[in-house]
Amino acid sequence: MPAPHFGVTIPQIKRTWNEAKTNAREFEAMGFDSLWVCDHLYGPQSPQIPILEAWSLVAAVAAITERVEIGTLVTPAGMRNPAQLGKVIATIDNIAGGRIIPGLGAGWMPREFTDFGVPFPPIGARMRQLREALELFRAMWTEPEVTMDGEFVHVRNLVCEPKPVRRPPILVGGAGEKVLLRIAARHADIWNNLAAHHHALPRKIDVLREHCAAVGRDPASITISQQCLVIIAPDEAAAAPMVETAKKIFGGHMGDPTGPLAIAGSPARVREQIQRHLDLGCTMFVIEFFGRDTREPARLFAETVLPHFR
């Protein structure tokens, strides 16, 4: 089983580049393994909500950090030209010295496609877009030239130079059991369970393993990761009102902070809940810390939780 990996999201929505930069540097210094951004062109609640574009932000963070991996959770495969996106990722991986984790999914917000002049097809077609994009990326990051004439991807004699420093590990994010998890079983290095489905993680892992068996893949070759809201306070009494506030703010979008796998409470409780994930086979955590200034809970986590799993 891989060693536990702890990633943390950086400020991006209604935040400035200076805030994102400061937090990225501090999270790296705290000892976190990776930094993450969401890939939306609009704020999830409204187009009027300011949000920093994901791959521009990844490139900037790559240039100001040295050790941490950097990823997207997740990039909709059909929201950009896939060949051009593959070139962008390869270039940023060179800037980062081999630290990029491209997270891919199908997308779910129609207007961030259509307002930018990009079609938003039905979910079945978006899943096929995802599969073709993953096939293209693996080819263009490893082969001298690529020709592909798919349903959505059309490239001829495509050259991607320089290649990524390493072949970037591909994360596939989503919870759909029939199609998405089958795509992950075939193509993903990392599968990420979205926070809204946190409670269903044990079943999703079982389904992923079934798909792996069907395609003849060792499930141990896929790192299982969980997007998670983490609420941490010095003791349970201090954490309790934070949990109630989080329930009101997120309304289930980031999972149930009182659910069976919720990572919320004192450092001891947080360690206990992380161990429950490890026992299930989930070794990678993409953390959204609860708090206006997420550096404060991140620092408490780094001091009281990280050392326990190193």
Per-residue pLDDT in tens (0 to 9) along the chain, 310 residues: 789 999 999 999 999 999 999 999 999 999 999 999 999 999 987 899 999 999 999 999 999 999 999 999 999 999 999 999 999 999 999 999 999 999 999 999 999 999 999 999 999 999 999 999 999 999 999 999 999 999 999 999 999 999 999 999 999 999 999 999 999 999 999 999 999 999 999 999 999 999 999 999 999 999 999 999 999 999 999 999 999 999 988 877 899 999 999 999 999 999 999 999 999 999 999 999 999 899 999 999 999 999 999 9
Residue 292's pLDDT is what? 86
Query: CB of 186 within 8 A of CB of 215?
Result: yes
Residue 69's pLDDT is what? 98
Domain count, the chain: 1
Range of the domain at 168: 5-309
List the CATH number of the domain containing 267. Answer: 3.20.20.30
Instruction: Provide the token pair at 199.
Output: 């409670």
pTM: 0.96
Contacts of 10 (CB under 8 A, 6+ apart): 20, 23, 24, 27, 35, 36, 37, 57, 61
Residue 117's pLDDT is what? 97
